[in-house]
Each structure stands twice: as C-alpha cells, then as structure tokens.
Structure 1
C-alpha cells in the first residue's frame, strides 16, 4: 500500500556503521518504511548510489545492510548503462527509494541524462516514499550547499525542486554549512531553506513540511529565511523517534 500523499523524508541520517556489516540502516530509514504503509510482507527498498558513481562495493554494503534490517532490496545503477529496462516501472514496484550521499551535482546530471528525475517524480506522485542522506536529501529540494566541486563548499541551485525550498545538511558537523547557507539565502541565491543536524530529518507531505524528526536525542532542524537580506534562523520542534 503506497503512502496516501506524495512523501519525502530528507535526512542527515538513516544509516550508520554496522556491527557485523559495513553499514546499518537506522531509525530514520525505518520511519521512511513506516510512512510507506507496507504491511504483511518485507518492505521493498530501491537503493540509488548514483552520487557515489554506482560503486559496486557501496551497493554491496547497502544491499547487505538492507537485508540485515529485514528489507527486500534492489538497486538502480547507471554505469556503464542502466541495469533495468524501465526505470519508472522498477521504482513503482517498491515502497521506498533510498538515495545515498556523495556528489549531488554528479547525481543530478546522471539522473537527468537517463530520465531518472522523471521516473522519481512519477514514483513520488504514486506514493513511493523518497528518502536519503546528504546528497540524497538536497536532491529533492531546489538546491543547497555542496562539496561536489571540492572541499570548499559551493552553492548548488539545480535540484529537482520537488519541494520549493533549499536544503542544508550536516548542519552541526561541518563548519562551512551554516554560514554559507545563511549567505546564500540572504543574497537571494537560494530560497528559504530547511536544514538538518546529523541524525535529523524533514518530513514533507506534498510540497510542505509536516514535521522534523530525529533518531538521536540532540539533533536539531532549522528554517532559514531572509527579509531585506536580514537572515533569520528558527529552530524547529523536533520529534524524537
């Protein structure tokens, strides 16, 4: 049973180090599965590691982590060619699409080249829950800050725009993130933005934020807006999962 409205859970979490596996999915990913409404069978999770160049080792470790969590995983890869005949049909057969971090600029370029952007929009509208971490969070927004081009963060303004806000990730763990997002919003380079500390997520129902959630006791979420270049950051109420 798909989600009853188009649903995105954009996060700076949902995965961590495993005890017996390289990765382990965590509470934010469990929440995304819950949002899909699946019952009576193993949740079907489609993994996208485009932002990591579809690295086979990464896909192996993600698949291993999904199986350990009780999910039925598959993946869409684009290198050296798409691994499925019909990407839209493949995504629609899943409950959740989970997108890994890495180069959000590279991810967007490859998705548009192969029509994954259109396939994702179709799946989102059909009730497949979209989620992910870092690049897998920024991508759903109009843009954000990225290290896709090097260690000095730069603005990215060509996100998919499924929701009409910019996005800041790793807000508490990477020093450049907060001041650059403030500057970009204040200079009208990016629109108003939602941001997450590590371990927090943003739940969008349709195109509007419904709530902020977190899988730990301290992670925050924030709304950054500007009026006449005066930037205001507002801490959001966060529900602990």
Structure 2
C-alpha cells in the first residue's frame, strides 16, 4: 500500500510545455512499483477534463520505451470497458494536475473513490502531481474555484493528513495551509515544494524525494497552545 504524492513528475521537453519527458519522480514511481520489466503505467487526466493535449504528451513521453502506457478517460464516457479491471491491472496510476474539485466530483460519479481505494489496498502504486496529490488526502488549498485559493472539497482520505502543493512557487499556499490547520479545518498537513514527492507506506510518511536541489517538504501541525508549527524535511535528491 504505497502512495507517491508530488508537486512534480513529468518535465517539459525543449519543444514546449506540452512536450513531456519522464522526470526522476516518474522513474521513482516505477521503482516503488517494483521496477517491473514492462511497467503498466496509467495516466488519469480527469483534473484537466481529459484534455487531448495532455494525453498526447503523456503517450509521447513514453514512446519507444518499455512502459505500457495507457490512459483512463472519463469524458464523454469511460474509454475502457471495465474501469475497475483496467486500474487494478496497473503497476502505477499517475493522476495529473488541474482542478481537484472537479476531479473528485467526477470520480465519485463513476465510483473511482472506491475503485482507487481497492487499487491501493491491492498494491497498485497511487501517485500524481498537484490535484493528483491533494486527492489522496483529507484536503488542502486549491485554485479550483478561482485565483483566490480555498479549501478543496473532501479528498479520498486514504492519507489522514492535509496536503499543500506548490508550496514555494505560489504565495497563497503556505499562509492558507497554516490558517486551515490553525482553525482545525485541516489536520496535521504535509506540503511539498515544486519538484518534491512524499512516499507513504500505508498511511506512514517514510521518505521525501526531490528532482531538484534547494527544495523541501514540510509538516504543518497545530500545537497544544493553538499556534502552528512548520517543520522542514530535507528530501533525498533523485538522480
């Protein structure tokens, strides 16, 4: 039962933002899944409405590799005959970024909240970036509703913490997460700078990794006196 929750993953290639290449966090996801010879890797782009540009960029990123790359699309209808069977057959499920509020609503309509829990309990590595990180937790700050960040709707809750993403690159993220923890709207929370990923065994945080230097992870928790403490975690730098 493993989750890799990140503020990174695929990296832009020289040709542009929708020309992706697998970064060190993607390689680490495959490693956590046991380094299969031909890893089954499924991209879930619900948070961007299954946008064809992202789907194409994902497939191009693995072109010519041993990765058996597939996507799960839910718009306008599921693109596989049996969503549960398809996801349970994967080594890695990677959830892309975008609107976590929309993602969670659509997933629940299609029963993915229960299916993804079953995948997790069956040993499929759950992973993703931004919205694809927050979704595994209780919740966290989101821009799903507009430029002023708000608390996301309840996540899947596989991890009993709040989650903050893009902690170093978007100025509203840190103060809002601190405020939500201080008020009790979120429990103890885990946050990541861009390029950082958190590894969980079951619900226990066991590792922090990064694809860049000078980035970190953080634990944000409410003290007994009602104030908030932030503890920095230095991640391992991935090759």
Q: Same fold (TM over 0.5)?
A: yes
Q: Deviations over 1:194-240 (max 9, x none)?
A: 00000001000001100111111111000000123200000013111
Q: 8, 15, 29: which one pairs with 1:13?
A: 8
Q: Give unmatched runs, 5+ long, in structure 2.
A: none
SS in 2 for 1:101: coil
Rounded to whole Å, the distance in 1 between the matches of 2:57 and 2:64 is 10
Q: 182, 185, 188: which one pairs with 1:186?
A: 182
2:202 equivalent to 1:206:
yes
Query: Following TM superposition, by how much is the alpha carbon of 1:70 offset from its aligned partner in structure 2, in angstroms?
Result: 4.1
Rounded to whole Å, the distance in 1 between the matches of 2:52 and 2:26 is 21
Q: 201, 218, 222: which one pairs with 1:222?
A: 218
Q: Deviations over 1:99-156 (max 9, x none)?
A: 1000000000000000111111111111110111100000000000000000110011
Q: 65, 69, 85: which one pairs with 2:81?
A: 85
Q: Deviations over 1:170-200 (max 9, x none)?
A: 0000000000000000010111100000000
Map of 2:100 onto structure 1: 104
TM-score, normalised relative to structure 1: 0.94
Rounded to whole Å, the distance in 1 between the matches of 2:64 and 2:120 is 26
SS in 2 for 1:32: helix
Q: 35, 38, 53: which one pairs with 2:35?
A: 38
Q: Deviations over 1:23-71 (max 9, x none)?
A: 11200111010011133x2211000000000111211111111335542
Query: Following TM superposition, by how much is the alpha carbon of 1:19 offset from its aligned partner in structure 2, in angstroms?
Result: 3.1
Map of 2:68 onto structure 1: 72
Q: Deviations over 1:63-116 (max 9, x none)?
A: 111335542110111111111121111011111000100000000000000011
2:238 equivalent to 1:238:
no
Kept after mapping to 1: 8 A contact 2:5/2:198: yes
Residues 13 and 69 of structure 1: CA distance in aligned 2, closer, same or farther (over 3 Å): farther
Moved over 3 A (4+): none
Kept after mapping to 1: 8 A contact 2:5/2:127: yes
CA RMSD of aligned residues (A): 1.2
Q: Give unmatched runs, 5+ long, in structure 1.
A: 1-5
Q: 99, 111, 115: which one pairs with 2:111?
A: 115
